[in-house]
Amino acid sequence: MNLDLMLDDLQELVVCESFSADHEALARSAALVADQGFRRLGARPETIVIDGVPHVRWTFGTPRVLLVGHHDTVWPMGTLREHPWSLVDGVARGPGVFDMKTGLVQMFHALASLPSPEGVCVLITGDEEVGSTTSRALIEESARGCAATFVLEASADGGTLKTARKGTSDYRVIVHGRAAHAGLEPWNGANAGIELAHQILTLSAMGEGETTVTPTVLSGGTTVNTVPALAQVSVDVRVPSIAEQDRIDQLIRALAPRLSGTRLEVTGGPNRPPLEEVSSARLFELACGIAKDLGMEPLRGVAVGGASDGNFTAGVGCPTLDGLGAVGGGAHAPHEHVVVAEIPDRTRLLAGLISSVLREPTGGVRVPLEEASAPQESPVLTGEDGR
């Protein structure tokens, strides 16, 4: 691997800001990603624009391996002035360098190192950090029929691969009450705030084991001397399995008011299904063997609470291994950084994984959909491990 060339490519991507909410910036970023991929792979991609968000995809023959990444970042335009690209003492810094522009560079160079990209699909989306609302169907379509998906999101601590991710659900519980003067006749009101307090306590008691149900953003009331007629809370749910996602969904939809004169409205639902270890086990074992052959340190795997687009690929039954991207830290934080010395070996590891899967008999191993099936509702969520 030519590390100097890889770092040139990385700098090019990092200095092209690509804030998820800025469609013009995303268009510039997508064009740059397409050009860089063309230089490395010798083929032009298709650029798919959905609701103003550009996604870039290369398809070589009939795909059996899907490589997934994203080019959007959480960093607002102008962040480069405060956190510029730098390469000092073997550490690269800059907005998006860890999450996940290094992963894109590794993806292109790994594929370019192979005799042929035949049998591979590369999908780089533009809205992962805001929940993949326009790209979900594209991700799932690209994953169906593949024997493996490799997700180039950044690694966990110390280069650890992500062998499981919790599924995510997002709800809003809205309480409708009845307004009244808080001093003159509060008894004629139905206090939505008090009812919401009851519901928050009920919600917070639903989590058990690895499942978390967390009330987050609260609002309610209008003036200090008015009984609140409306109050609401957002709810973040993380689950290790489809069964748990279904259990929590049923409980939240079955919520009932405690106070006379109030009623409840529940919106939202499951978004990302869990990436369960059954989906990654074979690929992780394969990665461990390749790493050993390359003389790398033994690989470790970990289950994480954050979600990625790998949840979607696993959800349609495609074996998925995540966290194959950069080694470093500070995702979504000012100290975001990448350990440069790790880039070549991580790229060789990915190349080895692609080659190994492509050499397998046609069909590969798929995860039964009853073990990994995607829920249908898709509320807006925000992305990756920051979620």
Q: What is the CATH number of the domain that holds 140?
A: 3.40.630.10
- Beta bridge mates, 230: 176
pLDDT of 371 reads 41
Residues 260 and 124 in one domain: no
Q: How many domains does the chain have?
A: 2
3-state secondary structure of 31: helix
Last residue of a domain, one of 241, 271, 301: 271
Residue with tokens 């992780």: 284
Question: 306: part of which helix (H) or strand (E)?
Answer: none
Residues 29 and 50 in one domain: yes
Q: Which domain holds residue 222?
A: 167-271
Cα(191)–Cα(196) distance, integer angstroms: 9
pLDDT of 379 reads 32
Do 135 and 307 meet the contact criterion of CB atoms below 8 Å apart? no
Q: If we measure between CA atoms, which residue out of 217, 204, 210, 209 comes closest to residue 251?
A: 204
Do 199 and 266 meet the contact criterion of CB atoms below 8 Å apart? no
Residues 191 and 159 in one domain: no
Residues 27 and 176 in one domain: no
pLDDT of 385 reads 52
Could you read off the pLDDT of 76-121 as tens digits, one per residue? 999 999 999 999 999 999 999 999 999 999 999 999 999 999 999 9
The b/e string for 204-230 (b: 16+ C-beta within 10 A; e otherwise) is eebbeeebbbebeeeebbeeeeebbbb
Cα(57)–Cα(53) distance, integer angstroms: 13
Residues 172 and 79 in one domain: no
pLDDT of 256 reads 98
Read off the DSSP letter of residue 100: I
Residues 117 and 175 in one domain: no
Residues 248 and 332 in one domain: no
CATH number for the domain spanning 231: value is: 3.30.70.360
Residues 311 and 254 in one domain: no
Question: 186: part of which helix (H) or strand (E)?
Answer: none
Cα(279)–Cα(310) distance, integer angstroms: 10
Residues of the chain with pLDDT under 70: 363-387
Could you read off the pLDDT of 335-367 as tens digits, one per residue? 999 999 999 999 999 999 999 999 988 744 444
3-state secondary structure of 203: helix
Which active-site residues does the annotation give? 72, 128
Cα(22)–Cα(27) distance, integer angstroms: 9
Residue with tokens 């979607």: 312
Last residue of a domain, one of 256, 271, 286: 271
Residues 306 and 171 in one domain: no
Residues 181 and 51 in one domain: no
Residues 152 and 286 in one domain: yes
3-state secondary structure of 291: helix
Residues 92 and 125 in one domain: yes
Last residue of a domain, one of 271, 287, 305: 271
